[in-house]
Structure 1
Amino acid sequence: MRMTTTIKTAAFVLAAVALPISAAQADAPRTATISYDDLNLSSAKGQAIFDRRIEAAVEAVCGRVQNKPTFDSAVRKCQKETNTTAAASRDLAVANYNKRRLAGGDRTIRLVAK
């Protein structure tokens, strides 16, 4: 009986310590940097590759849907918000591609998900 109580107490203490760590990690923004330095964004092929990189980065920072209703809701919300900001950055990168190519410049976009 005493051993069972000790195990339950140890499990409770571990859960109490792990919970704040998980909550802190959940609140920390997750980021991804997507380079298009090697792509020709003036071509449809280059833009398609860039779009796939963005999709992969959104999944990396937001996670994948896993058929867990509570978790999936948060993932979908993150993906929607991150895709919205990514689309604006993507469109700006494509629109300014030739200008930046002439000027040198950093050819990356950065995604931030909370």
Structure 2
Amino acid sequence: MQINLPDKLYYSIGEVARAFDVNASLIRFWEKEFDIIQPKKNKKGNRLFTPTDIKNLKIIYHLVKERGYTLEGARIALEEDQNLEDEIELVFRLEKIKAEILSLKSYFDDVED
């Protein structure tokens, strides 16, 4: 999964939900289930997610959606594995490289035809 968000200080819940291709309600649910996600709230009560929140959401998304962990299993993994953040960041970088390679392959396949 590739997360495409511009570099900003804060992201709205809509931006975050679109980036992860999930419903905003799932982001709110994960916020309640995982205390490492702590968006700020403006005067209207709208959630404003920081880049740190996005990084933590990437980890949770990877554990729950890609590895198939239960919420409890993801919580335990977050508590026990200190290198988890680095591992998941590496997975995201590798997926990005894979997508670029596949794009190049497709381009050259089209050029040959």
Structure index of larger Rg: 1
Q: Which has the higher helix share?
A: 1
Structure ranking higher on relative contact order (CA contacts 8 Å, 6+ apart): 1
More strand by share: 1
- TM-score norm. by structure 2 comes to 0.28
